[in-house]
Amino acid sequence: MTTTEPKRTERFEDNDQKPVGYGRMLRKEDPRFVRGKGRYVDDVQLPGMLHLAILRSPMAHARIVSVDTSAAEALPHVHAVVTGTMLADKGLAWMPTLSNDVQSVLATDKVRFQGQEVAFVVADDRYTARDALELIDVEYDPLDPVMDVRKALDEAAPVVRDEIEGKTDNHIFDWETGDAGATEKVFAKADVVVSEDIVYPRVHPAPMETCGAVADYDAVDGRLTLWSTTQAPHAHRTLYALVAGLPEHKIRIISPDIGGGFGGKVPIYPGYVCSIVASLVTGKPVKWMEDRSENLTSTGFARDYVMRGEIAATKEGKILAIRTHVLADHGAFNGVAAPVKYPAGFFGVFTGSYDLEAAYCSMSAVYTNKAPGGVAYACSFRITEAVYLVERMVSRLADELGVDQAQLRLDNFLRPDQFPYTTKTGWVYDSGNYEPTMRKAMEIAGYEQLRREQEQKRARGEIMGIGVSFFTEAVGAGPRKDMDILGLGMADGCELRVHPTGKAVVRLSVQTQGQGHETTFAQIVAEELGIPPADIDVVHGDTDQTPFGLGTYGSRSTPVSGAAAALVSRKVRDKAKLIASGMLEVSIADLEWEKGRFQVAGDPEQSVTIQDIAMRAHGAGDLPEGIEGGLEAQICYNPENLTYPHGAYICVVDIDPGTAHVTVRRFIAVDDCGTRINPMIIEGQVHGGLTDGVGMALMEMIAFDSDGNCLGGSLMDYLIPTALEVPDWETGYTVTPSPHHPIGAKGVGESATVGSPPAIVNAVIDALRPFGVHHADMPLTPSRVWEAMCGNPQPPI
């Protein structure tokens, strides 16, 4: 069933409806942030704390001949200078990545990307630590770097990972999905086949807060406390235990307020490990906080897929099959953070929202002399790349067939009666009803009028384009039978305690980085128990305080932890019902739940509130036979499937004919994320994601020169959009609940980042049709658009 949105007047007050459950309410965490009371890792101050700075490689590929630290050690206020060789003596020079590769903590043999960690200094203050870096003398013997991903597999290419026994090339893995033979057959009989080379350039999540940690090792009781910028505190604790050999119960990870993560704070970075080592070595708490350039050049990048897309269709416009080959640049170490069985993340959903006869993808992943990473920037484990590919190809097909982009999609959508639907690559879409969502976006946009306006403008020599994209995402990893990260199942725990006065505390394993968990999760519990959200405290981000779970990324919090929060509330409610039956002296069968109270069926006057029950549960009064006191419960939720949100996006651009500058004039986003808990927060997530999309489509890219220098090492070079580049977002929604999620909710955190780039690029290409342009790659900077207009579109790499 799909519900569409009622008309609503946009007023700020509408956002503060003080719901006891779902609905618009201002975020509980915001007073802390707007009053400057947020507490981030860099705000942690401990007595005697020292500061750590990391020396990074200026070269992309070079052998380390020697490292002389004597001058740095001699600098007053320096406590320690540590090199890769010293770590190697402790067996800590290399650490596992989340993809069963290894990554060097500090380089020993050679450096493999510009910005790689070579040594660190611990000093009394940040300035001294930084000054001392300049006194470390490293002699490098430069090697040719592998910068062009297309040449990484050439016989003559230098070998990036020559430390791996027997490694003679830069190949990491090959991966395929779908049915090559069946797809080939469909392509062979198709009337129309279109293919295109499509690059999704390397971008960076660039969170406002860079990465950092404060490590405090207490040698007396062998306890390590680590404040760290992590989206997954529990997973990190287990990994530190496994890698460093510290007992897990002696490690406490605290992830305080996090200033944006976008997937960039999922991996364990060498800097975290260095801080721990530094605290072990000095016996003092040690803070490491990377600077902006370090963040941009060394932490988890995103995308970097070079794709060949092919689409087959009948001449009437029935899409038959999609096929792609991908060359994936993983950088110097395979540091992708994705479930183990999914080396290409969830790229397998590249079949999109369409009813296909066949699909096939083959992929090769390679090492290059660039920073490692690969799953970040709100990408839903590579769905960003998948959706971009299919949505570019569908618009490309529309172009070829001379049919309207929106109509071609409407004609090929999966029908509601096909759900649950198993795609040709084996994904089981839980629910979906695409046409109303698409129609709604077209209605808000005034699609027909826009097309007329475009026609008139074209006649006058003005350049206007309308781009459509439609996405289906797969979020909420994931069922433990299929999904784990380094052996840890992707289930999430949740614990709920109702205090005697009916206030409550809910403890989550997921970690907010701006998504508003402290509000949303309070609302989920509120909806189930009928307690106002203001009375529910949400605790997260501290492994000593919360149950185990894998953290927040891939839009998984509401699909997994949200389900856990609802189910744990129901468990509490079940117990409350037993107590209520005793209080009201009726049998359980005679009790009815009315939000916030149990009442006697047929006699609603006779009732007890959840607060009454809480007091009784903790009080001295009688409880029914066999019932323990207290009102609390714990759960670990293992999702049965992913959730599959969808959405229809329409973008309108104007292009200056003289300068080729693109202006996003309008953007319409209609999202369907199932049950909507706090619509204001959803809109916030969508607005942010759309802004990300404008960034990627028009300006963002981590570029390198042929020597391997990173050209995006500051926010002057790596552009992030401002309010001036984005239009007033026009949002709408439909509601198609997830059938297997206890409250029918799906994830929405990344939808807009996934769905918007193809809409914008499709709009630009649509605008440039009169110039004979069929494709141009992101970022569509004025220069690159002008080249396309001149008939010479260039790939960005």
Partner 1 sequence: MQVPAALEYERASDVDHALNLLGRYGDTAKILAGGHSLLPMMKLRLATPEYLIDINDLHDELGYIRIDPTEARIGAMTRHRELLESDELGRMFPIFADAERVIADPVVRNRGTIGGSLCQADPSEDLSAVCTTLAASCVIRGPGGDRVVAMDEFHQGPYETAVGDDELLIELRIPVHPNGSSAYEKVERRAGDWAVVSAGAAVWLEDGVLSDARVGLAAVGPNTNGITAVSEACRGQAPSEELFARAGELAAQHCEPSTDQRGSADYKRHLAKELTVRTLRQAVRRIVERN
Q: Would you tell me which residues interact with partner 1 (CB under 8 A)?
A: 42, 126-127, 130-131, 289, 291-293, 658-661, 698-699, 703, 711, 714, 716-717, 719, 721-722, 724-725, 781-783, 786-787
Cβ of residue 787: shortest distance to partner 1, in angstroms? 7
562 vs 708, beta carbon nearer partner 1: 708
250 vs 687, beta carbon nearer partner 1: 687
92 vs 690, beta carbon nearer partner 1: 690
77 vs 571, beta carbon nearer partner 1: 77
Cβ of residue 16: shortest distance to partner 1, in angstroms? 30
Cβ of residue 703: shortest distance to partner 1, in angstroms? 6
Q: Are 277 and 89 in contact (CB under 8 A)?
A: no
Report the alpha-carbon distance of residue 797 to residue 793 in Å, rounded.
12
Q: Are 597 and 604 in contact (CB under 8 A)?
A: no
Cβ of residue 103: shortest distance to partner 1, in angstroms? 25
Specify the residue for token string 């395979």.
Answer: 334
Instruction: Kindly give, in sequence order, each residue whose CB lies less than 8 Å from that of residue 697, ignoring residues fewer than 6 positions away.
Output: 756, 757, 760, 761, 764, 778, 779, 780
For 582, the enclosing helix (H) or strand (E) is helix 563-584
299 vs 351, beta carbon nearer partner 1: 299
Report the alpha-carbon distance of residue 559 to residue 281 in Å, rounded.
42
288 vs 381, beta carbon nearer partner 1: 288
Distances (CA, A) of 106 to 93, 143, 155, 274: 6, 18, 29, 8
Could you tell me the maximum CA-CA distance found in the chain, to the nearest angstrom?
Answer: 86
Report the alpha-carbon distance of residue 679 to residue 795 in Å, rounded.
39
What's the helix, strand, coil split of the chain in %, to 5? 30, 25, 40
Residue of 478, 244, 230 whose CA lies nearest to 340: 478
* Structure tokens given for 176: 């395929």
Cβ of residue 130: shortest distance to partner 1, in angstroms? 5
Report the alpha-carbon distance of residue 544 to residue 548 in Å, rounded.
10
Cβ of residue 469: shortest distance to partner 1, in angstroms? 22
* Structure tokens given for 767: 């605008």
CA atoms within 13 A on the CB side of 87: 26
Cβ of residue 330: shortest distance to partner 1, in angstroms? 23
Does the N-terminal peptide bond of residue 420 adopt cis geometry, omega within 30 degrees of 0? yes
**DSSP code for 135:** T
Cβ of residue 266: shortest distance to partner 1, in angstroms? 23
Cβ of residue 399: shortest distance to partner 1, in angstroms? 25
Cβ of residue 125: shortest distance to partner 1, in angstroms? 9
639 vs 721, beta carbon nearer partner 1: 721
123 vs 356, beta carbon nearer partner 1: 123
HEC profile of 9-75: CCCHHHHCCCCCCCCCCCCCCHHHHHCCCCCEHHHCCCCCCEEEEEEECCCCCEEEEEEECHHHHHC
Cβ of residue 782: shortest distance to partner 1, in angstroms? 6
Cβ of residue 712: shortest distance to partner 1, in angstroms? 8
Cβ of residue 713: shortest distance to partner 1, in angstroms? 9
124 vs 404, beta carbon nearer partner 1: 124
Report the alpha-carbon distance of residue 763 to residue 649 in Å, rounded.
11
Cβ of residue 314: shortest distance to partner 1, in angstroms? 40
Cβ of residue 460: shortest distance to partner 1, in angstroms? 18
251 vs 463, beta carbon nearer partner 1: 463
335 vs 708, beta carbon nearer partner 1: 708
346 vs 377, beta carbon nearer partner 1: 377
Report the alpha-carbon distance of residue 233 to residue 212 in Å, rounded.
13
38 vs 782, beta carbon nearer partner 1: 782
User: How many CB atoms sit inside 10 A of residue 482's CB?
Assistant: 15
131 vs 163, beta carbon nearer partner 1: 131
411 vs 787, beta carbon nearer partner 1: 787
* Structure tokens given for 774: 């069929």
Cβ of residue 718: shortest distance to partner 1, in angstroms? 9
Report the alpha-carbon distance of residue 797 to residue 783 in Å, rounded.
15
47 vs 658, beta carbon nearer partner 1: 658
Residue of 504, 499, 544 whose CA lies nearest to 524: 504
Report the alpha-carbon distance of residue 630 to residue 613 in Å, rounded.
10
592 vs 787, beta carbon nearer partner 1: 787
17 vs 659, beta carbon nearer partner 1: 659
| Residues shown for the chain | 797
Cβ of residue 207: shortest distance to partner 1, in angstroms? 15
Q: DSSP string of 609-675?
A: EHHHHHHHHHSSS---TT--S--EEEEEE--SS-B--EEEEEEEEEE-TTT--EEEEEEEEEEE-BS
**DSSP code for 251:** E
* Structure tokens given for 591: 């009790």
Residue 208 CB-density burial (10 A; 0-12 exposed, 13-18 middle, 19+ buried): exposed
Report the alpha-carbon distance of residue 274 to residue 46 in Å, rounded.
18
Phi, psi of 777 (to 5 degrees): -85, 155
Q: Are 487 and 341 in contact (CB under 8 A)?
A: no
Residue 100 CB-density burial (10 A; 0-12 exposed, 13-18 middle, 19+ buried): exposed
Cβ of residue 699: shortest distance to partner 1, in angstroms? 5
